[in-house]
Amino acid sequence: MKSSSAALIHAFESVARGDLSVRIDEECEAPGLARAFNAMIASIGEREYRQTESAKEQIFQSEKLASIGRLASGIAHELNNPLTGILAYSSMMLEGMKDTQYAEDIKIIIDETIRCRDIVRGLLDFSRETHPELRPANLNHLITETLSILEKTHSLSNVVVEKILDDKIPAAGMDTNQMKSVINNLVLNAVDAMPFGGTIKIRTGIDKKAGKIFMEVEDNGSGIKKENIGLIFDPFFTSKDMGKGTGLGLFVTYNTVERHGGAIKVQSEEGVGTTFTVELPIK
Ligand SMILES: Nc1ncnc2c1ncn2[C@@H]1O[C@H](COP(=O)(O)OP(=O)(O)OP(=O)(O)O)[C@@H](O)[C@H]1O
Ligand SMILES: [Mg+2]
């Protein structure tokens, strides 16, 4: 049997080389120390495994979104011209048939075509890969501004919005328009998830060690079905009724946050609620 100090030195050297499978015989002269060492290495190994798995998952998710995004914007590009044609001809038809029984039907064609065109435009704007113009801005101010606009333009009377903003968060490089639309999307999704009312908590804070600020948007609404969690950031994934959602909100949000060098995560439980966390680098 090696002396405990020789075993310890050997074990430390192995860990330094990156070998986390090393263990010390707990029947040695210092069993307490050996047990503590083994437990420590086991927990480091477990944490490392979890971090690698989550990094792999993030890479997979962003590669998947990049390729679906390219496909979707390619289709949008192709659809743009025929839609413009349908809109031009149906508008001309309406002019000529204003006083006929067909006028109402043609109006529906025009309205629905406009809706398609708006979706296509949204995708095209997005695919132009406009790089965000990053300027130092205060996330708390953007949240307050966005909420006050939302209160005027949407019915939020059903929900209580609680702001728990850390006034010590430093400015971060942000494209203010794009970041406001991130806040907008997350808050409106939370509102939609609570048709019978509820509470939205918007928290900000700083993780100094990681050099990040974060924003959490928490609701106590419907939650997201387990099988849908992996799909919510995909373009056109929506669980809302026809005409209610395009399924582009979170897709655009994900990409905006990523272009800011940040990350977005979701935690959700069906029937309990959902929390989205956006992290942004301070520099
Ligand atoms: N806070 C939330 N609670 C429950 N489900 C959510 C929440 N946020 C997003 N979802 C789910 O994710 C789906 C996708 O959201 P996303 O914002 O991309 O599209 P949408 O809200 O359906 O349409 P829109 O393009 O108009 O935003 C939603 O349809 C809903 O099923
Ligand atoms: Mg949405």
What is the span of the domain harbouring residue 48?
4-54
- pLDDT of 15 strictly over 80: yes
Distance CA 273, CA 191 (A): 11
Q: Is the full-model pTM beyond 0.95?
A: no
Per-residue confidence at 30, pLDDT binned at 50, 70, 90? confident
Could you tell me if the CB of 94 is within 6 A of ligand 1?
no
Kindly state whether residues 179 and 213 are assigned to the same domain: yes
Q: How many angstroms separate the alpha carbon of residue 19 from the centre of ligand 1?
A: 43
Distance (Å) from CA 76 to ligand 1 centroid:
21
Looking at the structure, do residues 154 and 230 belong to the same domain, yes or no?
yes
pLDDT at position 80 is 83
**Are both 168 and 276 inside the same structural domain?**
yes
> What would the pLDDT profile of 134-187 be if each residue is shown by its tens digit?
999 999 999 999 998 888 777 788 899 999 999 999 999 998 888 998 999 999
pLDDT grade for 128, boundaries at 50, 70 and 90: low
Q: Which atom of ligand 1 is nearest to the CA of 247?
A: 19
Q: What is the pLDDT of residue 279?
A: 97
243 and 192 assigned to the same domain: yes
Percent of the chain with pLDDT over 70: 96
Domain boundary among 19, 37, 54: 54
Same domain, 152 and 241: yes
Pair 175, 217 in one domain:
yes
Say yes or no: 72 and 8 in one domain. Answer: no
Same domain (yes/no): 169, 258: yes
Q: What is the rounded average pLDDT for all residues in the chain?
A: 88
Q: Quick check: CB of 224 below 6 Å from ligand 1?
A: yes
Count of domains for the chain: 3
Of 81, 79, 80, 107, the C-alpha closest to 93 is 107
218 lies in the same domain as 201: yes
Confidence at residue 2, expressed as pLDDT on a 0 to 100 scale? 54
Q: Using alpha carbons only, what angle is made at residue 157 by residues 205 and 217, rounded to the nearest 5 degrees?
A: 20
CB of 267 sitting under 6 A from ligand 1: no
Of the ranges 14-23, 208-217, 249-258, the best mean pLDDT one: 208-217
Mutate to test the pocket of ligand 1, among 232, 255, 276 (most ligand atoms within 8 A of CB): 232
Give the model's pLDDT for residue 129.
Answer: 57
Q: 201 and 268 in one domain?
A: yes
Residue where a domain terminates, one of 127, 147, 181? 127
In tens, the pLDDT along 89-108 reads 999 999 999 999 999 999 99
Cβ(168) – ligand 1 distance below 6 Å: no
Q: How confident is the model at residue 110 (pLDDT cuts 50, 70, 90)?
A: very high
Ligand index nearest the alpha carbon of residue 248: 1
Contact between 116 and 154 under an 8 Å Cβ cutoff? The reply is: no
In tens, the pLDDT along 63-77 reads 777 777 777 777 887
Closest-CA residue, ligand 1 atom 4, reads 223
Res 249 pLDDT > 80: yes
Same domain, 163 and 204: yes
| Mean pLDDT value across residues 25-37 | 87
Last residue of a domain, one of 76, 99, 127: 127
